[in-house]
Amino acid sequence: LLRWAERTIPMGWEGFYAASENYREAGRHELALEFIVKAADGLLSQYGDHPSATYDNALALASILLNSYRDFDKAESVYRRAINLRPASYAGVHELAATLQADNRPADALQAVGDYIQAYGANDSAQSDYDILANAISRSEAASEAPTEAPAEQ
């Protein structure tokens, strides 16, 4: 029935989100993921034209993709598209950086934060994130360069 409705009745992003929640509650996670992606796509295409198609709601949908479905690629895509809508807002960059770091891509996370700082200046959150990421990368590099076992005595 929902597939018929999807083809026949124009569904806004909220309808796709509701369908996603229904599928998730029914344990049909593949369909839930499909519909949350459609919700995000719909929201981003309606941004500025619909009162609930907001930047914060786009970030919330990306967060669901990351935290409920562990879909790093789809979450990253939604975060990047939301950032393009409001590039001076740091909230999306912060969430994108956290997503990239969780996906074991700290250098990409650092680049995203660094690009923001270069374009808009270093607010407290951006500078803190940059410092944390740079420190984590530095410690990781130092750990990988350290000997793994003590040299044998002669």
Q: Which DSSP string corresponds to 56-77?
A: HHHHHHHHHHHHTT--HHHHHH
Same domain for 78 and 122, yes or no, is no
Same domain for 45 and 115, yes or no, is no
Same domain for 58 and 101, yes or no, is no
Query: Does residue 146 form part of some domain?
Result: no
Number of structural domains in the chain: 2
Same domain for 70 and 107, yes or no, is no
Same domain for 34 and 93, yes or no, is no
Query: Does residue 148 form part of some domain?
Result: no
The boundaries of the domain holding residue 125 are: 88-140
Q: Which DSSP string corresponds to 98-148?
A: HHHHHTT-HHHHHHHHHHHHHHH---HHHHHHHHHHHHHHHHHHHHHHS-S
pLDDT band at 11 (very low <50, low <70, confident <90, very high): confident
pLDDT tens column, 15-49: 999 999 999 999 999 999 999 999 999 999 999 99
List, in order, residues 6 or more apart from 67 with CB less than 8 Å away: none
Higher pLDDT, 147 or 107: 107
Cα 27 to chain center, whole Å? 23
Same domain for 25 and 35, yes or no, is yes
Please count the residues of the chain: 154
pLDDT band at 3 (very low <50, low <70, confident <90, very high): low
In this structure, the number of other CB atoms found within 10 A of the CB of residue 133 comes to: 23
Same domain for 93 and 33, yes or no, is no
Same domain for 94 and 71, yes or no, is no
- Strand, coil or helix: 97: helix
Same domain for 82 and 105, yes or no, is no
